Amino acid sequence: MTMEHLLELDKKHFIHPTSSIQQQQEKGAKIIVEKGEGIYLTDKNGSVYMDVMSSLWNVNVGHGREELAEAAAEQMKKLAFSSAFSTFSHEPAIKLAEKIASLAPKGLNAVFFTSGGSESNDTAFKLVRHYWRIQDQPNRRKIISLKRGYHGVAAASTSATGIPEFWNMAGQMMTDFHHADTPYENGTDKAIVSLRQLIEAEGPETIAAFIAEPVQGAGGVLIPPSDFFKEVRNVCDEYGILLIADEVITGFGRTGKMFGVENWGVTPDLMSFAKGVTSGYVPLGGVIVSNHIHDVLKEKSKGTLFHGYTYSGHPTAAAVALKNLEIIEKEELVENSRKMGEELLKGFQKLKEEIDIVGNVRTIGLLGAVELVQDPKTNKRFSPDYQVAAKVIEALHQRGVICRAVTYEGTDIICFSPPLIINPSQIDSLLERLKGAIKEVKEGLT
């Protein structure tokens, strides 16, 4: 098909996720991607781009891995799909559950599979409410999450997401969801005080669980102070509240550890995951629960557990996930994520010295951010009228880099989440292009 024809059909028939429908109708799709290889994407016109977001923070092993295509083909030829409902089971899902248990923090060993991150968090909320209900505490229904946290867009995960724009589309938030202050502006102590106040105000005996990302991704790659999660764990233990870690972005090597919580020395009661488990080659997610929760379910969950997706434990998706995890281990990508993240940070710090609109820079493994500010000394932000972040993203695009900006609450944050296979010369090339892009935008402002 020609570009023109594809663009026309796109406008007519394709409603894009998280998009401006009016902009699509006016301008059409910006890029039609045709193929991927390593950290690169090639569009229909033959232009090549560095995909430094791993598409949606998920293509951890990079694009175009034939081993994954072969794993899918092999499984499809044998058994593409079969149910895991009720008493049915199959080898790929059993093996994958065992594999994830072996990688997860000690004491989390039983997995419920889903098709993605939103379903995983909705599942986690239903599981914790069920856990309390079967222990005669049905009032423990409330879920606390952090402001600016992102937990997906299914019915309940939309409400756990701490970004109001997402609730507005659904008309309103669900009841029994509450958002606590983050530690990002005012530090751990103030955030913990406000968490305690929220718990006391709502009544500890009504709270089922607290959920947070070990590093907030969509909120702008916000790395918490190193003591925050330990304090959260203490508060949860004090009030008997379950702790859910949303590892949808941070799982499987993204932060330089297998799971994000390992950076903070805490063990959650449940972990939701998706994205990196298959590197996005096929949709799959899940929730892994502690031995204690599993024991309670085994002992007290009578009759049918009324929760299950058609694709829970999809055999082809499980086979791809197993191969993907094998690649992550064999190629030592968790270690590469840590090392390359350090290189990226050094480059960001150099940029900060060289260009006076670069504010805070940070990385944790291969999750990184560069903030653009009018005055780095006072952290004064640019007026949103300047659209600084959007301009930098466009200047990067012109230089063959696909990247993403976060502009909530007047911030100009450029986010980075490249495939974990990225090498030092690709990091250098990215930094060179980033420098050119920021300089160009800065010059245009004066």
131 contacts 115 by C-beta, under 8 angstroms? no
Judged by CB, which is closer to ligand PLP: 152, or 359?
152
Residue 110 sits at φ, ψ, to 5 deg, of -125, 135
421 counts as binding ligand PLP under rule CB under 6 A = no
Kindly state the helix (H) or strand (E) to which residue 193 belongs, with its residue range.
Answer: helix 187-202
**Edge to edge, what strands does the sheet with 40-43 contain?**
33-37, 40-43, 48-51, 401-402
Residue among 141, 93, 120 nearest 213 (CA):
120
220 counts as binding ligand PLP under rule CB under 6 A = no
Q: For the CB of residue 249, give the shortest distance to ligand PLP in the complex, in Å.
A: 4
List, in order, residues 6 or more apart from 233 with CB less than 8 Å away: 243, 266, 267
151 counts as binding ligand PLP under rule CB under 6 A = yes
Segment interacting with ligand PLP, rule: CB under 6 A, options 3-11, 115-123, 190-198, 435-443: 115-123
How far is it between the farthest Cα atoms of the chain? 69
Judged by CB, which is closer to ligand PLP: 152, or 268?
152
122 counts as binding ligand PLP under rule CB under 6 A = no
Segment interacting with ligand PLP, rule: CB under 6 A, options 29-37, 135-143, 148-156, 263-271: 148-156
Distances (CA, A) of 124 to 245, 269, 341, 369: 10, 10, 30, 29
Distances (CA, A) of 154 to 14, 163, 175, 231, 360: 20, 14, 15, 29, 33
Judged by CB, which is closer to ligand PLP: 116, or 347?
116
Segment interacting with ligand PLP, rule: CB under 6 A, options 110-118, 172-180, 332-340, 377-385: 110-118
Q: For the CB of residue 158, give the shortest distance to ligand PLP in the complex, in Å.
A: 10
What would you report as the CA-atom Rg of the chain, rounded to the nearest whole angstrom? 22
Q: Is 226 helix (H, G, I), strand (E, B) or coil?
A: coil
274 counts as binding ligand PLP under rule CB under 6 A = yes
Query: Within positions 43 to 102, which residues make up the interface with ligand PLP, using CB under 6 A?
Result: none
Judged by CB, which is closer to ligand PLP: 120, or 426?
120
Segment interacting with ligand PLP, rule: CB under 6 A, options 113-121, 166-174, 335-343, 382-390: 113-121
The residues binding ligand PLP (CB under 6 A) are 116-118, 121, 150-152, 213, 217-218, 246, 248-249, 274
